[in-house]
Amino acid sequence: MNYIKIFLLLFACSAMFSCKKDKTTNPSYTCTTCKQTPDALAANDGSSKGIYKGAVVGSTGTISFNVLNDGTTITARMVLDGIVVNLTSTLTWQAGQPYVAPFTGTLNGAAVSITFSVAANGGSPIVTSSSIPGHPGTQFTLVKETSNSLIEVFEGTYHTTRPEDGTFNMLLSRSARVYGGQSRKSTSTSSTDFNGTLTTDNKLKDPNGNILGTLNADAINGTFNDGNGNTVTITARRTL
């Protein structure tokens, strides 16, 4: 499936995630406003129609696109630093064709534009460009939700004894047992991609077999050592 391919990109494990040993303590948290079953309809699983969910860095947030999932609506909803931005597109969807469309709205009275692109079969969803006033360098990680794979979005932070602080946002499919996302140092405008698998005992394992943290209900927490003698702590909670 396409969402699995997106998660399993062969990124090298960066220094921050070049882990030695997990020392996780993981308090439980449940997102009471989050969906427990997919919104995506089975009829759209192999089409550019459907539901797409994403994590946002450059500040922090989430985004979801609805491309005719219900047959009538082409909209998007972004939550950035807690502020909701509703977006719409007027570009007509055509069967058997990629869908590339600008979605527009306003944030604090200023115009927002985000261009969304997806292949005809629903593969490779990306944001090709964005203009968000007050949020330069915003980046997105997107995945297509399917009728049998709920996509969850987590927002969080990391801290290292380097010292360094930053954003740690990710997507997760419990049914496919894969995750992926981006981290960004607080003072930076570029991000680092990460990905891995979710073990049967709910550990987040990177491609090198290192454990980053543990999933407990809708919370992720972990403390581990990087390859340079620094301690890294991650904390994230599901928000979508």
List, in order, residues 6 or more apart from 85 with CB less than 8 Å away.
77, 78, 79, 105, 106, 107, 112
12 pLDDT above the threshold of 80: no
pLDDT of residue 14: 38
Q: pLDDT confidence of 22, banded at 50, 70, 90?
A: very low
Span 147-154, average pLDDT? 98
Q: What's the pTM?
A: 0.88
Half-sphere exposure of 44 (CA within 13 A, CB side): 22
**CA dist., res. 29 & res. 151, Å (int):** 17
Report the percent of the chain where pLDDT is more than 90: 81
List, in order, residues 6 or more apart from 227 with CB less than 8 Å away.
15, 18, 19, 20
Mean pLDDT, the chain, rounded, equals 90
CA angle 51, 87, 45 (to 5 degrees): 10
In tens, the pLDDT along 40-82 reads 999 999 999 999 999 999 989 999 999 999 999 999 999 999 9
In tens, the pLDDT along 171-230 reads 999 999 999 999 999 988 889 999 999 999 999 999 989 999 999 999 999 998 888 899
